[in-house]
Amino acid sequence: MTKKEAIRQTHQEHTLMSLGFTRDEAESLRRISIRLRSWFERECGTDGGCIERDEATDRPYWINSITGRRFPIRDMETGARKRLAFIINARNARESYRDIATKPAGQTIAEYIGARNLSAYIQTDPRGCALYVLRPGDVPEGADPSAYYSRGIAVY
């Protein structure tokens, strides 16, 4: 790892920690992003083949580009998505309990908690970052996150 990469990772870790993630959660988010990007690259295809999902069973298969044979492979995408949801939900629950005492008088608890929750956007295009953490103001209400995800925090 170069010095520049170490500085970038440290900055990203501190940014995620300032949002309420723990150091381990920030590292897990980075690993999830790497895993998802690798998966999406292989879905698009390499010289050796590509990943395809069976439409009936939703199981992933590696399609060899030379022989055309299908081989079952481990589904790394589903596990990464589950871990991501767990980390985001744990952070949101932790922060909502911590900050409930500072709730403004005119706001209900549900409104206050909803206004402080983070969400995640997964970009399936392998040419860039795969995971973005979205803060409440990053995407306008009612808008599609796929049009505004770059306002969030890129985790790579």
What does the CA dihedral 30, 33, 39, 43 come to, rounded to 10 degrees? -160
Residues 102, 126: contact at Cβ < 8 Å?
no
* CA proximity to 92, closest of 123, 135, 131: 135
| Average pLDDT value for residue range 45-54 | 94
Kindly report, residue by residue over 4-16, the tens digit of the pLDDT. 999 999 999 999 9
User: Distance between CA atoms of 102 and 153, rounded to whole angstroms?
Assistant: 25
How many C-beta neighbours within 10 Å does residue 138 have?
A: 18
- pLDDT score, position 94: 85
Does residue 51 register a pLDDT over 90? yes
Question: What is the reported pTM?
Answer: 0.85
- What is the token pair recorded at 137? 């103001």
- What is the token pair recorded at 114? 């909803």
- pLDDT score, position 103: 58
Stretch among 2-6, 45-49, 145-149 having the lowest mean pLDDT: 145-149
Does residue 84 register a pLDDT over 90? yes
- pLDDT score, position 5: 93
Q: What angle do CA 57, 59, 62 make, to 5 degrees?
A: 135
φ, ψ at 60 (rounded to 5°): -85, 145
The pLDDT-based confidence of 43 (bands split at 50, 70, 90) is: very high
Stretch among 41-45, 61-65, 107-111 having the lowest mean pLDDT: 107-111
